[in-house]
Structure 1
Amino acid sequence: MEKAAGVSSITFTCHFDTWGFIYKHAHEAGNFNGPKVVDEQPDGFVAVPVSGPTLVAVLETLWREQRNKYRSAGNRAIAKRIYDVTSTTVEAIDLEAAERGTPIPPVVIDAKHGTADPQP
Structure 2
Amino acid sequence: MGIFSWISDWASAITEAAQEQQNKEAQHLQYMTAAAGVGSVQLRCHQDTWNYFLREFQKHSYNAASFRRPAEAAIVREDDGMIVVPLSGSTVAALLDRCNGMSRRTEPLDHAMGVRVYEAIATVLRKIEPAGEQKIPLPPITLDDRPGTPATESAQSS
User: Is the TM value for this pair above 0.5?
Assistant: yes
User: Relative to structure 1, is the Cα distance of residues 49 and 20 closer, same or farther in structure 2, using a 3 angstrom cutoff?
Assistant: same
Higher relative contact order (CA 8 A, sep 6+): 1
Match of 2:135 in 1: 101
Match of 1:59 in 2: 96
Which structure would you say has the larger Rg?
A: 2
Q: Which amino acid aligns with 2:118?
A: Y
**How far did residue 61 of structure 1 move?**
0.6
Q: 1:41 aligns with which of 60, 78, 84?
A: 78
Kindly report structure 1 stretches of 4+ aligned residues shifted beyond 3 Å: none
Instruction: Tell me, in whole angstroms, the C-alpha distance in 1 between the residues paired with 2:43 and 2:97.
Output: 16
Q: Name the structure where strand makes up a greater proportion of residues.
A: 1
Give TM-score scaled by structure 2 length.
0.65
**How far did residue 102 of structure 1 move?**
0.8
Q: Is the 8 A contact 2:36 2:93 kept in 1?
A: yes
> What are structure 2's unaligned runs of at least 5 residues?
1-31
Q: 1:8 aligns with which of 18, 33, 39?
A: 39
Instruction: Tell me, in whole angstroms, the C-alpha distance in 1 between the residues paired with 2:53 and 2:124.
Output: 16
Q: Is the 8 A contact 1:26 1:57 kept in 2?
A: no
> What are structure 1's unaligned runs of at least 5 residues?
none
> SS in structure 2 opposite 1:10?
strand
Instruction: Tell me, in whole angstroms, the C-alpha distance in 1 between the residues paired with 2:90 and 2:102.
Output: 18
Q: Name the structure where helix makes up a greater proportion of residues.
A: 2
Percent same amino acid at aligned positions?
Answer: 32
**How far did residue 94 of structure 1 move?**
2.6
Q: Which amino acid aligns with 1:10?
A: V
Instruction: Tell me, in whole angstroms, the C-alpha distance in 1 between the residues paired with 2:91 and 2:99.
Output: 12
Listed as ranges, the matches of 1:100-119 within 5 Å are 100-112=134-146, 113=149, 114-115=151-152, 116=155
Match of 2:57 in 1: 26
